[in-house]
């Protein structure tokens, strides 16, 4: 499925090339053709989960129209590598800027995301000169696949919580020779980025995130109307949209059997979140490109990592409580309205040194896929003031 890595020592970095056997694609198409479909209540829409008619149509597109080879070539056009850190294989993109003074930036995905989230921001960030930007805003990009996910999975042992992931990312940046660097991410990638700022603060010049859980410490009567709406969105998420979290943080192995065996099961489990968490009005394709979405699903399906990627929920919720320390590293927050839990600045500032805060009128949880231009612009603006520290 992927390039064979031979003779790897713990410190070795090896080139990586995606080469999925045709037999794996034939098996996928065969499984899709033989799907055993469930029933559905009439008129249920999205209330009970992802609708049957929509999944059937999307699965048929996946089986008959979607071109993995084109997507594989797009991924392989980017420099990819693997290395072993703390006993686990870590796959990553490493795209160096043509600008010699570019700032190193590690960009980390979450669940149910992947490096496919970042395909539209890599060019503008690494080569702004070629994308109508200022070459002084260039970055050297490192995009790791979180251990347990995709080509970094499955993990061989227990304990890969968010802290251990952040330590692996810090080790990767050191191995690549970056003494000072910035960090960016959303979802688990935001947690990893914040942990980097806490635990590798001598090397991290700034942390930029698109998701931040900040406990609300005021009574509802102390909140203004915008803050009340954000609190209501957090409460709605916990009440209606967090079932996946409970399952993956308690029984990821049981879930893995269905998702690893059924491509439609894997498809539905992921795509539902793209509809609920994006700035879409009807279907996820209102917000993200359909084939890019399917490429994201493929990185789970082809690697059989539904279970091992879910384990980050189990490991983190069963580990020590989150680090309560104040994040003193300069922090930037980009707030998108359809984020699953948009933060409130005055509460976020209680535990973070926030020096940059942007509020956007569109976009959601998968911001780099939904609104790549906004993400690129905000990263440039935030790190522009920090470049002298790199």
Task: State the catalytic residues.
Answer: 187, 313, 365
CA distance 226 to 223: 8
Contact indicator for 333, 359 with CB cutoff of 8 Å? no
- Compute the half-sphere exposure of residue 389: CA atoms within 13 Å on the CB side of its CA: 15
SS percent in the chain: helix, strand, coil, step 5: 45, 15, 40
CA distance 128 to 123: 7
3-state secondary structure string, 189-242? HHHHHHHHHHHCCCCEEEEEECCCCCCCCCCHHHCCHHHHHHHHHHHHHHHHHC
Whether cis (ω within 30° of 0) applies to the bond prior to 154 is: yes
CB atoms within 10 A of CB 10: 11
R_g of the chain computed on alpha carbons: 20
CA distance 3 to 8: 13
Whether cis (ω within 30° of 0) applies to the bond prior to 232 is: no
The residue ranges of DSSP E strands in the chain, in sequence order, are: 13-15, 80-85, 88-95, 103-108, 139-144, 181-185, 204-209, 327-335, 352-359
CA-nearest of 139, 145, 198, 205 to 169 is 145
């Amino acid at each position: 499925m992927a390039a064979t890595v031979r003779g790897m020592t713990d410190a070795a970095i090896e080139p990586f090339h995606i080469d999925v056997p045709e037999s794996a694609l034939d098996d996928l198409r065969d499984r899709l053709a033989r799907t055993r479909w469930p029933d559905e209540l009439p008129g249920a829409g999205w209330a009970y989960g992802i609708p049957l008619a929509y999944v059937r149509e999307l699965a048929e597109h996946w089986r008959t129209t979607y071109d993995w080879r084109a997507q594989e070539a797009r991924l392989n056009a980017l420099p990819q590598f693997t290395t072993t850190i703390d006993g686990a294989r870590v796959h990553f993109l490493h795209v160096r800027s043509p600008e010699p003074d570019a700032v190193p930036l590690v960009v980390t995905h979450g669940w149910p995301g992947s490096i496919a989230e970042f395909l539209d921001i890599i060019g503008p960030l690494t080569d702004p000169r070629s994308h109508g930007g200022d070459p002084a805003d260039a970055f050297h990009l490192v995009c790791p696949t979180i251990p347990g996910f995709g080509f970094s999975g499955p993990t061989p042992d227990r304990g890969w919580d968010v802290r251990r992931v952040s330590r692996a990312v810090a080790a990767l940046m050191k191995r690549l020779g970056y003494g000072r660097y910035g960090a960016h991410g959303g979802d688990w990638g935001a947690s990893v980025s914040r942990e980097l700022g806490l635990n590798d603060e001598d090397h991290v010049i700034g942390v930029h995130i698109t998701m931040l859980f900040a406990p609300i410490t005021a009574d509802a009567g102390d909140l203004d109307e915008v803050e009340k709406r954000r609190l209501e969105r957090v409460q709605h998420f916990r009440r209606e949209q967090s079932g996946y979290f409970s399952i993956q943080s308690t029984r990821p192995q049981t879930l893995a059997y269905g998702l690893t065996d059924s491509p439609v099961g894997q498809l539905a489990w992921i795509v539902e979140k793209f509809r609920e968490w994006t700035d879409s009005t009807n279907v996820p394709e209102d917000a993200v490109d359909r084939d890019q979405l399917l490429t994201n699903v493929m990185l789970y399906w082809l690697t059989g990592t539904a279970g091992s990627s879910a384990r980050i929920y189990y490991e983190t919720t069963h580990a020590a409580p989150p680090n309560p320390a104040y994040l003193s590293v300069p922090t930037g927050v980009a707030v998108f309205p359809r984020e699953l839990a948009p933060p409130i600045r005055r509460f976020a500032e209680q535990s973070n040194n926030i020096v940059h805060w942007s509020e956007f009128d569109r976009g959601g949880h998968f911001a780099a896929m939904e609104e790549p231009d906004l993400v690129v612009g905000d990263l440039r603006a935030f790190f522009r003031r920090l470049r002298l520290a790199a």
